[in-house]
Amino acid sequence: MLDSILLATDLSQRSDRALHRAVALARQSGAKLTILTVVDDEQPDDMREDQVNHAHRQLEASREALCQGIECTVLVEQGDPTDLVLTHARNDEPDLMVLGPHRERNLWDMLYETTGQRIARMTHVAVLLVVEPAETKYNSVLLATDFSPASTAAALLANEVAPEADLHALHALHVPYGAMGRAAGGGADNSLEASFRADAKTADANWRGSFEAPANLSETDIQTGSAEALFNQIVQAKHVPLIAIGAHGRVGAHRALLGSLVTSLMRYPPCDLLVCRPH
């Protein structure tokens, strides 16, 4: 159950959708909402003071306009934005953290992780990255499952975030040397794929037996191919508003251990993205 939500915002236009989604989720679930913005302290005092005052005015105006009927706290702090967001996640232990999309910096993003990626890597709190308008409730969710505890966490939280949505489970099946076999037109490749598909179905059955699956969870769609390509294709074809996915690796581990699919989707999100850690 969602009891508390933390929205971290830089007050930019690209963060407005995250604000509206966080408010909608708080209203839907009855959760307490905390809206946090951080003014970077590595700038001249007079400029920083102006930004702090502006942030207070903007957040109070947003609370007055949007947050009637929900418990909402607004915070303006000074320091390193990422570090302070992570500190609040660690100390306040919200059930969900909501972020807006990062500012695109093509060369920088190729070499370094985005702010959202770093936050998701460094916290145990589930992260909702919002890039789409929050005009309606989520009506469908695409669940990435690899039959792990992280996938279980994603399925359960997706059901809380979008209780009225269809929850479509998708498993991307990787068949070693599959492309090579298909190019040669060999029957051995079909046999290899059938073997991997049978293993995936067994893993799926075991996974579903390990927890109380939401009633709206579909049978798992097992498709062969690149996970990132499959998810992008389905989102575009079916206009899916939300992907739910589990993060792998230890909290704070090297960014490669967050999971290659999570890393790619957070860098170039085709829709809203819910990233969960296993319980």
List the structure tokens of 144.
Answer: 């990435």
Beta strand 96-99 pairing with 4-8: parallel
Task: Look at residue 173 and give its three-state secondary structure.
Answer: strand
125, 211, 249, 251 from 254: Cα distances, Å = 17, 29, 8, 9
Average pLDDT, consecutive stretches of 10 residues, N- to C-terminus, the chain (279 residues): 95 93 98 96 86 95 96 96 95 97 58 80 95 95 96 97 97 73 56 90 98 96 94 97 86 56 90 94
CATH number for the domain formed by residue range(s) 1-100: 3.40.50.620
Please give the angle made by the CA atoms of 204, 210 and 213, to the nearest 5 degrees: 80
Check if the beta carbon of residue 135 is closer than 8 Å to that of residue 241. no
Q: What is the pLDDT of residue 112?
A: 59
- pLDDT of the residue at 257: 45
Q: What is the pLDDT of residue 42?
A: 83
For residue 187, what pLDDT is reported? 55
pLDDT of residue 98: 98
How far lies 8's CA from each of 89, 185, 253, in Å? 10, 52, 22
Angle between helix 260-267 and helix 115-122 axes, rounded to 10 deg: 140
Q: Chain-centre distance of CA 174, in angstroms? A: 23
CATH 3.40.50.620 domain residues, the chain: 1-100, 133-279
133-279: CATH number: 3.40.50.620
pLDDT of residue 256: 46
Residue 152: partners with Cβ closer than 8 Å, 6 or more residues away: 207, 210, 211, 246, 278, 279
Tokens 């770093």 locate to 118
Q: What is the pTM assigned to this prediction?
A: 0.91
